[in-house]
Every structure is written in structure tokens, then in C-alpha cells.
Amino acid sequence: MKKIFMAIASGLLAVGIGVAAVGCSGAGDISVYNRESGSGTRDAFLELLGIDEAELNTGVAQLASTSAVITGVAGDKKAIGYASLGSVDSTVKALSVDGVAPTEETVADGTYKIARPFELMYDETKLAQNDLLDAFIAYLKSADAQQVIAEEGYVSVVSDATSYAVPTEAFTVTEIEASGSTSVGPLMTMLADKFETMVKEANGQDVSITVSGGGSGQGIADANSGKTEIGMASKEVKKGTDVTNENVTILQLCADGIAVIVNKANPATDIALDNLKKIYTDNALNWSDIGVEFSEE
């Protein structure tokens, strides 16, 4: 028995030493931090950089939360990561991208590159018959909804919003549906839940706002055809080219900005979008390859 033990133990030891000896492969010195597959922030980041998930440099860690990425980057000198703009704190440094600093203003006006608008599309002519749709759109434009949006880490684009009050009369329409982008979906679901609760508290009525997926393309198609009351898209939507139905109005719900974060010891303040894409696809890249020299090891 003992011999078998010894054999197993020494075998394991040999494997362990072998594995250790093979040692470092050709990886560069950039510690690349990602979110896990399935994260909305990761989906948005990859989409905006035009990187396919399968070619992504998975880097040193794929962490399950924004705060884990920030903690990781804060403790790792050679790190780079990304996080929703609203959640970045002072323990890390957010880089400018192509010379534009990530702020609420640059995200809202679209000059910051790693950002995208969340657009809603609805048929203007239907508002008169559909009082629930009318009320929900009014709620989405209100300060109440914009506060929820800001709390979720998105950038509000409505400047002079007022607070919202549910109409005293009961709604004649009790069910509407929003479909499209799965990135907008979670935020929309949250806003719909809050709105449903507000209506329930105000006049005791049960209304239902269903949020379904399908992607931005589906959202645009559904808005054009009138299949669902609200179409959702997580990219810029243009009247005429995307929205062919001339009754459909486009409303920007908010903007989603993603900050590129590095360790505070990193001397860089700006990164070119091309270099960022290189970092996230090429795992052999070093900081010096993109012109960032660390002063002391």
C-alpha cells in the first residue's frame, strides 16, 4: 500500500515540478483584466472595440464583478481593465481614449469613443390611443427614471427632467411590450418594475410592461412594424436609414460609458483606441510596445 502511495505522491510531485519548470510562456507584461463571459459590460466593451469573444486576450483574470476588477487593477502595477463609468473610484486611474477623457459630458455628447447610446423607438401616433404607453414614456423622461438610470451607472442625457406623477384616472390599456437590445433590457426591466409599482400604489391598477430581447436589430424592426410598442437599441439609430416608419420617434434613454482603468503607478494618461484593441487581442504585448515606460520595477 505504502509503495502505491509513494508512487502516487512522487508522480504528483514530478508533474508539479514539470508544470512549474515549463514556466512562463510568451505572454507580455500587461496584466489584462476582463469581466466574465456573459457580463453586459464585457459585451458592450467587446462590441464597441469590434472584438470577437473568441479572439479576446483573456489575460490574467476574468472577474465576476466590477468591484473585483477595480480591486484587481488597484493592486496590480501593470494592470489594465474596464468598468462602467459610474463605478470607477479614486483607487485606479481612468485613461483618456484618443485624447478624450471619460466624463459624463463626453459620453453624453458621443465624443468619448467607448460609449454607446441606449435608444428607444415608439410610434408617436399611437400615444393618443395608448394611454399606458404615453404615461410610461413620460415616466422615462422624468427625473425619477433618470435617477434610477444614474444609480445603475449609466449617464443621463436628459437635462431638465421634472418629477413624475401617475395620472389619477385608470389606464384603458394595461399591457405593453418593449423588445430589442439585451443590453438595454435589464435597465428597462428595472424601470418597468418601478413604474408598475408606482401605478399600483397610485390607483391600485395592475399594469404590465413586458421586456423581451432579440437584439438591437430586432428592436428597430419591431418599432418599424409596430409589433411591439417600444423598440430598444444599444447603438445610434438614424431616422430614414434605420427607422423607415416615419411615425416612429427616437428617444435617447441614456448613454452607457465604459472607462479604461489602469493602476495609479502607470505613467500613461491616454491610450489610442487601436492600441487598446491590440492589448485586448494580443496577449504577447508589453506596455513598452505601446510607448508606456514604467520608471522603476
Q: How far is the CB of 11 from another protein (least distance, A)?
A: 10
Q: Position 295: which residue type?
A: S
Q: Could you give the count of Cα atoms lying within 13 Å of 53 in the half-sphere of its Cβ?
A: 11
- Cell match 443621463: residue? 156
**The three grid cell numbers given for residue 74, joined into one nine-digit string:** 488597484
Tell me how far apart the alpha carbons of residues 140 and 125 are, in angstroms, rounded to a whole number.
18
90 to 173, 244, 262: CA distances (angstroms): 47, 45, 11
Of residues 140-199, those binding another protein (CB under 8 A): 182
Answer yes or no: are the C-beta atoms of 40 and 183 closer than 8 Å.
Answer: yes
Count of positions on this chain that bind another protein (CB under 8 A): 43
Per-residue binding string, another protein, 201-220, x by CB under 8 A, is ------------x-------
Q: Kind of pairing, strands 208-214 and 79-84?
A: unpaired
> Smaller CB distance to another protein: residue 23 or 240?
23
Q: How far is the CB of 12 from another protein (least distance, A)?
A: 5
Which of these segments, 2-10, 97-105, 245-253, 258-266, binds another protein (CB under 8 A)?
2-10
Q: Kind of pairing, strands 248-262 and 115-123?
A: antiparallel
Provide the phi-psi class of 103: left if phi over 0, else alpha when psi is between -120 and 50, else beta: beta
Q: How far is the CB of 243 from another protein (least distance, A)?
A: 26
Of residues 6-65, those binding another protein (CB under 8 A): 9, 12-13, 15-16, 19-20, 22-25, 27, 29, 31, 33, 36-40, 42-43, 52-54, 58-64
72 to 42, 75, 84, 116, 203: CA distances (angstroms): 16, 5, 15, 26, 48
Q: How far is the CB of 42 from another protein (least distance, A)?
A: 8
Which of these segments, 67-75, 104-112, 165-173, 242-250, binds another protein (CB under 8 A)?
67-75
Residues making contact with another protein (CB under 8 A):
1-2, 5, 9, 12-13, 15-16, 19-20, 22-25, 27, 29, 31, 33, 36-40, 42-43, 52-54, 58-64, 68, 72, 75-76, 78-79, 182, 213
